[in-house]
Amino acid sequence: MRGLDSGATGPGGASKAVITATAVFAALTLFASACATGGTGARDEGPAGADSVAGATTPVSTPSGRAGRVDAVELVKDDPKVSTAVKRDLKPCVADEYPVDVSYGNLTGGSADDIVVNVMTCGDAVGIGAYVYRAQDGGYRNVFKAEAPPVYAEIDRGDLVVTQQLYGKDDPVSYPSSEEVITYGWSAGRFAVQSRIHNDYSNAVGGTDSPAPDAN
């Protein structure tokens, strides 16, 4: 299916947001460099020993071991690993409602749940940044990031699954050529690729050159 599922997701849910021309235009500034090189964009798969996220003072666990609910917007804005472009585009859609999805679950085997944060555009919810935060030293540490839109990360049976849509040189912005679905597992203090699935989309379906249906 071309595009990300438009339904809301939680831990282990489906991919996010059907891609439309309007939404992708809103994300063009962020992924222009990825299109120019034909790459999939930047991902940080470094070790968990990254610098602490400044200002993250939310309690990292409760007696049940569940992560305390955090202010995900402040977590992202205070994170030195998040790009300036994503922080600049992280604005309320309506009143104080931000386009941010937050999932809690066990990805890294810690004593408290890890936090997956997806930052999106307003309206059609195109993912422009995906991050994983691990409870550590009384705060949260960024242990994963992906910032090449359209991108979306989710928790699936204890693994991190990242969906990245890709554009060829001549692709219209509303129809990417393909997607990669990458599954990461936590190993030796970092996320490591466990599987990678590449799906090529049909140019004959949904494109501007598709013939109109026969009225008869």
The 3-state secondary structure of the chain reads: CCCCCCCCCCCCCCCCCCCCHHHHHHHHHHHHHHHHHCCCCCEECCCCCCCECCCCCCCCCCCCCCCCCCCHHHHHHCCCCCCHHHHHHCCCCECCECCEEEEEECCCCCCCCEEEEEEECCCCCCEEEEEEEEEECCEEEEEEEECCCCEEEEEECCEEEEEEEECCCCCCCCCCCEEEEEEEEEECCEEEEEEEEEEECCCCCCCCCCCCCCCC
Which range is least confidently modeled, 19-23, 117-121, 155-159, 167-171? 19-23
Q: Distance between CA 22 and CA 86 in Å, rounded?
A: 18
Region 88-108 average pLDDT: 94
Dihedral angle of Cα 22, 26, 27, 33, to the nearest 10 degrees? 100
Region 153-161 average pLDDT: 96
Indicate whether 112 pLDDT > 50. Answer: yes
pLDDT by residue (tens digit) across 36-57?
Answer: 334 433 334 433 322 333 333 3
Region 202-213 average pLDDT: 57
Mean of per-residue pLDDT scores for the chain: 74
More confidently predicted of 156 and 59: 156
- pLDDT given for residue 23 in this prediction: 44
Radius of gyration of the chain (CA): 18
21 touches 32 (CB < 8 A) = no
pLDDT by residue (tens digit) across 132-144?
Answer: 999 988 899 999 9
- pLDDT given for residue 42 in this prediction: 37
Where does the pLDDT of residue 105 fall: very low under 50, low under 70, confident under 90, or very high at 90 and above? very high
More confidently predicted of 145 and 214: 145
Largest CA distance in the chain: 68
Indicate whether 16 pLDDT > 80. Answer: no
Residue 41: left (phi > 0), alpha (psi -120 to 50), or beta?
A: left
Bridge partners for 199 per DSSP: 179
- pLDDT given for residue 171 in this prediction: 79
> CA neighbours within 13 Å on the CB side: how many for 116?
25
Where does the pLDDT of residue 169 fall: very low under 50, low under 70, confident under 90, or very high at 90 and above? confident
Region 69-77 average pLDDT: 93
Indicate whether 102 pLDDT > 50. Answer: yes
